[in-house]
Structure 1
Amino acid sequence: MTAPRTALRALVAAAVLALTAASPGAQAGPGPGAPGEFVTLRSVDPTIIHEMRYATAHTFVGERVDGYRQPVCLLTRPAARALHRAQVRLLPQGYSLKVYDCYRPQRAVDHFVRWAGDPDDQSMKGEFYPLVDKDRLFEDGYIAKRSGHSRGSTVDLTLVRLPARATRPYRPGERLMPCFAPQGERFPDNSLDMGTGYDCFDTLSRTDDPRIRGARRANRQFLQRTMADVGFVNLPEEWWHFTFVPEPFPDTYFDFPVHRRAVAGR
């Protein structure tokens, strides 16, 4: 085979590999930036409130989570546009969405897995999993080795009544209160009372748990109806967890870091 033909075949093979890696069905590895379908939520709707928990120390692992370099919400464009449609409906009613987490890189999920395997680290048990043994978090489904968040169309969020009250930052080492304590006792959050705080590893976090009644149940139902109307499906085990369907990347788990540069210009 001549040298020009060998070079041509090498170029074709490289192009095929590149297209395969970029296809929605491929398993994506670490990379510097997001595919073109990703945007910042603020570029689509700047009115939605952000409280990006995993970019802070107020997490169930007790520290900033790997991969969260900035407190920015990244999502696929269809998911972000759907949140905008929900927000347009909510604002005239005196409410706003507030996002806790959006796209989550695989390295963050790996951080959760390492943390779950360390029985000596119980620093945040008093707030996030007071009634669950840490060695059961995998078995009970609170921690997994893959997350739908890494596909870019899943979001954790709540509702806030407007005008939104300011919330104080978490102070590492402060006294922890159970995430299912009455709203006035658990860590302050300006959201509607949903019966538990965010990331509460407890059966009370199940969206339709019968023990959640009255206004708290009505608040969950309001959130669920609002999200369903714009194409999101709730995870029954977590009142705050919603996935937009159809997902642009249903089989791909991305690992680019959470940073504005990941979607520069979008």
Structure 2
Amino acid sequence: MLDICKWGADSGDQKMKSRYYPHIDKAKVFGDHYVRDFSEHSRGVAVDVSLLYARTGKPVDMGGHHDLLDPSSATDSTLVTPSQRRNRMILKKAFEKQGFANYAPEWWHYRLLNEPEPALHYYFPVWDGMASAGEP
């Protein structure tokens, strides 16, 4: 998480703006809580997920990629099509049924409700397999 905090403090680094925060100022990435220095991920109780079609393995259209820091990424956003919103609600219902809560600004982010150790934080390397798997 330290690397992302370092990146956030560098207002000159705008390399990822068009992909990850095209409609917001970089200063708002932290200010609007899209990114935090400690999150449910650092406690090991959150996952970022999406849906795939079982037959093809292709992603379901959720109206934007995960980690798109944008108002349209809100789970119940009306800035996406009704079909995309319905897909988000399918994901939300499935995870809520299993004891997870959605972080409303991010359709992909789910946190375990019954956290065993809410004050405990872990530090470990994270691999973003999506980037290697051909995510656009």
| Shared fold per TM-score greater than 0.5 | yes
CA distances 1:31-86 after superposition (whole Å, capped 9, x unpaired): xxxxxxxxxxxxxxxxxxxxxxxxxxxxxxxxxxxxxxxxxxxxxxxxxxxxxxxx
Which of the residues 92, 103, 108 maps onto 1:224?
92
Task: Determine the C-alpha separation between the residues in 2 that align with 1:195 and 1:135.
Answer: 24
The DSSP-based 3-state class of the residue aligned with 2:49 is: strand
Partner of 1:194: 62
Amino acid at match of 2:8: A
CA offsets, 1:109-154, max 9 Å, x none?
A: 1111100111221111111111111122111111211111011111
In 1, distance between residues paired with 2:99 and 2:109?
A: 13
Partner of 2:131: none
- For the structure 1 residues 203 and 258, does the alpha-carbon distance in structure 2 shift closer, same or farther, using more than 3 Å as the test? closer
Q: How far apart, CA to CA, are the structure 1 residues paired with 2:125 and 2:66?
A: 22
1:210 is aligned to: 78
Shift of 1:218: 0.9
Q: Which residue of 1 aligns with 2:43?
A: 151
> Separation in 2 of the partners of 1:258 and 1:132?
26
> Is 2:10 the partner of 1:142?
no
TM-score, structure 1 normalization? 0.46
Higher relative contact order (CA closer than 8 Å, sequence separation 6+):
1
Unaligned runs of 5+ in 1: 1-108, 166-189, 260-266
SS of residue matched to 1:126:
helix
Deviation string 1:229-263 (CA, Å, 9 cap, x unpaired) is 1111111111000011201221111113458xxxx
Establish whether residue 241 from structure 1 lines up as the match of residue 133 from structure 2: no
| Counterpart amino acid of residue 211 in structure 1 | L
Question: Structure 1: how far apart are the matches of 2:90 and 2:124?
Answer: 33
Query: What does residue 34 of structure 1 align with?
Result: none
Matched residue, 2:22: 130
Encode CA deviations 1:170-206: one digit per residue, 9 max, x unaligned. xxxxxxxxxxxxxxxxxxxx31111111100100011
**Rg: which structure is higher?**
1
Equivalent pair of 1:156/1:241 in contact (CA under 8 Å)? yes
CA spacing shift, 1:115–1:258, aligned 2, 3 Å: closer
CA distance in 2, matches of 1:225, 1:159: 12
For the structure 1 residues 257 and 128, does the alpha-carbon distance in structure 2 shift closer, same or farther, using more than 3 Å as the test? closer
CA RMSD of aligned residues (A): 1.5
Distance 2:126 2:27 in 1: 29
The answer (yes or no) to whether the contact 1:152–1:249 under 8 Å persists in 2 is no
1:1-266 equivalence runs, <5 A: 109-165=1-57, 190-258=58-126
